[in-house]
Amino acid sequence: MYKKALFVLLVLTQCLFVNIAHSQDLEPRFLSNVPTGLNILLASYGYSSGNIMLDNSLPVEDLNAKLNIIGVAYVRSFKMFNKLTKFDALIPYSFANFEGKVNSIDSSTTRNGFGDPLIRLSMVLIGVQPMGVSEFLKHEVKKFKLGVLVRIRFPLGQYDPTKLINLGANRWALKIGVAGSYTFRKKLILEGHLISWFFTTNKDFFNGNTIKQKPLLGGQIHVTYVFKPGVWVAVSFGDIGLGETILNGVEQDNLQNSSRVGAAFGYKLNKQHGLKIAVTNGVTARYGANFTTILLAYQFMWFDKK
């Protein structure tokens, strides 16, 4: 029963791959069902190039960056308030090269170090009941699911107030969101997300300045096709906007408006191991990040011992 459960669940837990997360993550299969007591350890490598804003409030012009990120994450599922709940934590480490201008002055630089860690708590409100492995294998899959999430970005990454570009943002960030999905004929899944980011003020911004940012608002649409347990492909589209910055009390007239498309492929290696490859690319950007990312992730999963 234990080995059979791992085989069945490998396809479902692909949704728990954690991307190197900023405001424009594209995360298909976020609402996939899993049993309680599941643990997942993830390791990922991502390469991004283009207009990458680790802190999307920065007034940097013509930014061209190359970013290598190694991420380690842990995911756990459990029951809370009689709902299926998932917790995940991510720590990124970056090797980055930035080329850009501030007030038409070249500000190219390199940065190596830890970025801001993130934690997330998500809950499926409709369509899923928390259950153990034995019950999970017998339950009937619901077509419609609805869930919510809260994510916190901690200001613990590498930061130097004498430098404009840093790996950390020196401010707290809070992401809240709601997601819904509908499954057609057990193989085709349509999923949509509405999310918003909220930020605290960075009172120790570059050379003694203060910068704050208004909330970002975004949405995502995902279409996933499951070929068989452990093998699936997804295409995604996301858009994010608003988020005007305020420097020393003066609004900067830089409302963000950027869109991204992406594709992801998940493949099981065996009962406990799986791989995922994902590619995302910017489509349009008035202000904000516009870059291409390739991500390779590996997962190892196990259940609590009883």
- What per-residue string of b and e applies to 52-78 under the rule 16 or more CB within 10 Å gives b? bbbbbbbebeebebbbebebebebbbe
CA-based nearest residue to 236, from 262, 212, 216: 262
**Segments of the chain with pLDDT less than 50:** 1-23, 54-56, 287
How far, in Å, CA of 13 to CA of 275, rounded?
Answer: 11
pLDDT at 49: 83
Q: What is the pLDDT of residues 164-181, one digit of tens each?
A: 778 898 999 999 999 999
Structural domains in the chain (count): 1
CATH of the domain at 117: 2.40.128.130
pLDDT at 45: 95
Scan for tokens 């720590």, then name that residue.
91
pLDDT at 53: 54
Q: Give the structural domain span for 225.
A: 2-303
